[in-house]
Amino acid sequence: MSLLTVQHLQQHFPVRGGLLHRAVASCKAVDGVSFTLGQGETLGLVGESGCGKTTLGKAIVRLLKPTGGSIRFDGHDITQASTSAIRPLRRHMQMIFQDPAESLNPRHTVRDILEEPFVVQKLGSKEERRKWVLELLDKVGLPASGAEKFPFEFSGGQRQRIGIARAIALKPKLIVCDEPVSALDVSVQSQVLNLLLELQREMGLSYLFIAHGLSVVKHMSDRVAVMYLGKIVEMAPSEELYRNPRHAYTRALLDAIPVPDPAKRRERQLLQGDVPSPINPPAGCAFGHRMKHPKWQESVGVDLALREVAPGHWVQPCPCCT
Amino acid sequence: MSLSPTSAILEIRDLVTAFDTDAGRMTAVDGVSFDVPRGKTLGIVGESGCGKSVTAFSITRLLPQPHGKILGGSIRFEGRDLVSLSLEEMQKIRGSEISMIFQEPMTALNPVQTVGRQLAEAILLHEDCPKAEVLARSIDMMKKVRIPAPEQRLNEYPHQLSGGMRQRVMIAMALINKPKLLIADEPTTALDVTVQAQILELIADLQKEMGMSVILITHDLGVIAEVCDEVAVMYAGRIVEKAGVFDLFAKPRHAYTQGLLESIPRLDSTPKSLLKAIPGNVPSIAEFKPGCRFAERSGRVHTEVHLTARPPFTEISPGHFVEQCPICVA
């Protein structure tokens, strides 16, 4: 049985305006997303900015209250669970953020930051917690002396290690990693990626790995889901997706990645235009609409729920893009 | 040191740029030399704090005042040494012969002026030009950077444009006086990968059309490989390696260049395999050593001597220069 099952998840936000500040439109940040995630598995989530990938991550750990669909985590339906009902489950689902400088309290020492999860969950005595903090620092490759320091005393990569230590403190089952290396220097990115891979093997963690860099996502994931304007348009095992992309948007994304090898320069099919706004998205296939595809009209009214075209390879059955 | 003097539009020799801070003088660019060949693209690649942007601001003399200072070396642009020019003379060059575009177009554009007014200002700062001609040239330039409905866009404000469109406006402003050299400082870092590809292609097309030289500053080796002719790799205030782009990627000689190339995840690598990471952290400017600055992170055996004596920057094969530290260049 899978650890996480997401079905038809919707996260809409009201857009308010006018004199009475009434909802005049709805921003469909996540609009009907379904997937499963097994134990020890990594699902990568890629897409351009504004596609809803971060919102999806936040909805899954219930930092947001979904407006539709369902989330089952570890046997519990958590879609509409109250704060108090969800607290005992929180220790099993954690999040790592993009900017470690902004996600660590600058006035707390590293010890305070790492002890807090235990305090919130009322775990261990004072002495035990002190011991656990040191074990956590060791696990993420930071010296024990770091415990008494403040976040600003560390480099970006080290700060992200603190963020990771906090996330693994309660031995969670699922970690949502939201662009965990985007803010880091190139030479430090690979250290942090390796740490995440090692921790996963050791602790049997499941990751939802969100990033805009496709090469990073492919490297970290068992399966990859491509998101466009609030929907998953294609989902497949990593190698399969890169070798055999079926959706036009996946192909466009792959084609746009700069390859670090000048011998592989190529003529590219450049994608035109920008990502449209998720407020009042077009009917039918949103990508076909952006591309002004001649067959776009045919996609209006068609059921675009993902269909399995090869083992584990799911794609939107859209008449214009697949 | 001898770099080939032929047909370079810009020749930088032993440039030293420092900042005076409360904690003393910090040398951000420490003896950097390179040429920008005419009509070609030179990429400068490096991590945060390596001095790549400070090098660019030294060329355009836009260092933060009064703390930033060029302490030594020369920057020869078409025979003139930019370091010794007065501010008025430099202003005439800036925006007409040498232009610059920046990472974040939203902060580089004026939010309370229309696009049209900002484009017109770029023209009128350098020449007297009748209104009708200013408008015609602005529209023409907007078309060149492929902005749809340019007449209408000229009346809009930066916040009404998407990130990609804003960067196109920046490029239009930078190129409207047909500069000979364009310095692009991380022009696509804030953009999505699909928009990045559009902007890089646009710069390359305009470069061909206008015959200008480009310095492209980035931290992304993929971007370097796609668009540059030559590459300078910077680390901790110095160029550690410089070569033609094919040579550099096929035969990197410095341990830092090799480490960078080996550490990045690639589309053809095995998923979930461990990457060859470079250990340690990028040193901060206060920790810069007089000798080789990468030896400590190279994972190779080194002595105190290597950290105190500065290695020479030598040409090891035609056009391929490297900071010849005996530890990092094996």
Residue B103 and residue B25 share a domain: no
Answer yes or no: do B272 and A157 touch at CB < 8 A.
no
Give the integer Cα–Cα distance in Å for A147 and A237: 40
Whole-number pLDDT of residue B2: 45
pLDDT for residue A36 is more than 70: yes
Last residue of a domain, one of B158, B178, B198: B178
Of A190, A193, A271, the CB nearest to B194: A271
Residue B133 and residue B87 share a domain: no
Residue B235 and residue B273 share a domain: yes
Minimal C-alpha gap between B126 and chain A (Å): 33
pLDDT for residue A214 is more than 60: yes
B195 touches B218 (CB < 8 A): no
Pairing of strands A223-228, A42-46: parallel
Number of inter-chain CB pairs under 8 A, A vs B: 147
Average pLDDT along chain A = 91
B312 CB near a chain A CB, below 8 Å? no
For residue A263, the chain B residues in CB contact (below 8 A) are 246, 249-250
- Of A45, A43, A36, A52, nearest to A4 by C-alpha is A36
Give the integer Cα–Cα distance in Å for A101 and A156: 7
Answer yes or no: do A194 and B274 touch at CB < 8 A.
yes
How sure is the predictor about A76, in pLDDT bands with cuts at 50, 70 and 90? very high
**Residue B303 region by backbone torsions, left for phi larger than 0, else alpha for psi between -120 and 50, else beta:** beta
**How many CB atoms are located within 10 Å of the residue A269 CB?**
12
Minimal C-alpha gap between A100 and chain B (Å): 16
Helix (H) or strand (E) holding A168: helix A156-168
Whole-number pLDDT of residue A196: 97
Report the complex ipTM. 0.86
The residue of chain B with its CA nearest to that of A195 is B274
Average pLDDT over residues A48-69: 93
**Is residue A321, in this structure, part of any structural domain at all?**
no
Answer yes or no: do B193 and A215 touch at CB < 8 A.
no
Whole-number pLDDT of residue B193: 87
Number of Cα atoms under 13 Å in the Cβ half of residue B319 = 14
Q: What distances in angstroms separate CA A7 from CA A4, A11, A203, A223, A307, one per listed residue?
A: 10, 12, 27, 17, 14
B204 CB near a chain A CB, below 8 Å? no
Answer yes or no: do B271 and A220 touch at CB < 8 A.
yes
B267 touches A242 (CB < 8 A): yes
Whole-number pLDDT of residue B6: 55
Minimal C-alpha gap between B148 and chain A (Å): 10
Q: What is the CATH number of the domain that holds A295?
A: 3.40.50.300
Averages of pLDDT over runs of 10 residues in chain B (330 residues) are 65 96 94 95 93 95 93 95 95 95 86 95 93 95 91 93 90 94 92 88 93 95 95 97 97 96 89 92 90 92 88 95 94
pLDDT tens string A108-159: 999 999 999 999 999 999 999 999 999 999 999 999 999 999 999 998 889 9
Residue B188 and residue B162 share a domain: no
Query: What are the residues facing B80 on neighbouring strands?
Result: B77
Whole-number pLDDT of residue B305: 84
Minimal C-alpha gap between A292 and chain B (Å): 15
Strand order in the sheet with A174-178: A93-96, A174-178, A206-210, A42-46, A223-228, A231-237, A313-315, A307-310
**Is residue A145, in this structure, part of any structural domain at all?**
no
Of B47, B196, B277, the CB nearest to A194: B277
Query: What are the residues facing B36 on neighbouring strands?
Result: B10
* Residue span of the structural domain in which B127 resides: 98-178
* Residue span of the structural domain in which A62 resides: 4-92+170-315
Average pLDDT over residues A10-35: 89
For residue B196, the chain A residues in CB contact (below 8 A) are 256, 258
Q: How many domains is chain A partitioned into structurally? A: 1
**How many CB atoms are located within 10 Å of the residue A99 CB?**
16
The residue of chain B with its CA nearest to that of A253 is B194
For residue B223, the chain A residues in CB contact (below 8 A) are 258
